[in-house]
Structure 1
Amino acid sequence: MAFVRGAAVALIASGLMLSACSSVPFIGKSGDSRPAANAQQAGIGVNAYLWRATLDTLSFMPLLNADPWGGVVNYDWYVNPQTPNERFKATVFILDQRLRADALNVSITKEVKDASGGWTAAPVAAQTETDLENAILTKARQLNLANGG
């Protein structure tokens, strides 16, 4: 008799423990567990579309390092085969978790080869940085729309 009582208690206890694993929502709580469209998602510390668009747009340049939590992407020197006497380096700062134009800053450094074969700093046209920012923003918007945004 004691064995049957012990088995019944174990059966009831295991049933109670398993009932805590159900997916029935609490009273007054919505059953929809999807995140809101404007909610910040866990993961990287910056806007994921700007991050991916930066990597895609500047994929022709050698990647030096990337910090997805700080929002900084550094590219190493790139020499265009058509203009071997100049090289470019880029740093992209993603400043916000929202997809906005002011959440992006591109900085370009340019060097030209002098007569002795050494590299010397040269000015970069302001439009170059603006054009790269616009290309990244366009790609980010396309990625957002493709994802149902």
Structure 2
Amino acid sequence: MAAGMIAALAACGGDSKRVETDLAASNVTTIGINAYLWRASLDTLSFMPMLQTDSAGGVIVTDWYSNPQNPAERMKVTVSILDQDLRADALRVNASREVMSGGQWVGAPVQAATVQKLEDIILTRAREMRRDALMG
């Protein structure tokens, strides 16, 4: 909604520099992707070891993580931020899961609800960060 307001203001011939620095904007372009989604993704996955973090490309890849309470199962997550706007379709989460079977890790299905829950957590956290930045 804020991006729409900015576009409307710009169309009215207002000061474009002032519009670009509007703190209410959900479009954060300093790193080429939405900074709130980026930070929220890092926050959400901070308990997992990171293999790759590319802020310019908007990609986070974790290494395999096993919950200490369930060491016979492990997960690996890839987050892609696809846009500069803070929108649900600007975020893609993929997860891989393996279980220990006969002394070897074997691929296992990931419940769709798991990926959806991760996306929801990241989006909620990103919106909280934006709200806090606007109020603070």
Q: Shorter chain as normaliser: what TM range?
A: 0.7 to 0.9
1:88-129 deviations in whole A, cap 9, x for unaligned? 0000000000000110010000000012x1100000000000
Structure 1 or 2, whichever has the larger Rg, is 1
TM-score, normalising length: structure 1: 0.74
Structure 1 vs Structure 2: percent identity of aligned residues?
52
SS in 2 for 1:81: coil
* Aligned position for 2:46: 59
Paired residues for 1:38-77 under 5 Å:
38=25, 42-77=29-64
* Aligned position for 1:148: 134
* Aligned position for 1:123: 109
Runs of 4+ that moved beyond 2 A: 29-34, 36-43
**Which amino acid in structure 1 is aligned with residue 31 of structure 2?**
I
Partners of 1:144 and 1:39 in 2: how far apart? 8
SS in 2 for 1:50: helix
Partners of 1:109 and 1:91 in 2: how far apart? 9
**Aligned residue pair count:** 120
Q: Which has the higher contact order (CA 8 A, sep 6+)?
A: 2
Question: Per the alignment, do residues 33 and 61 of structure 1 end up closer, same or farther by CA in structure 2, a change over 3 Å counting?
Answer: same
Unaligned runs of 5+ in 1: 1-28
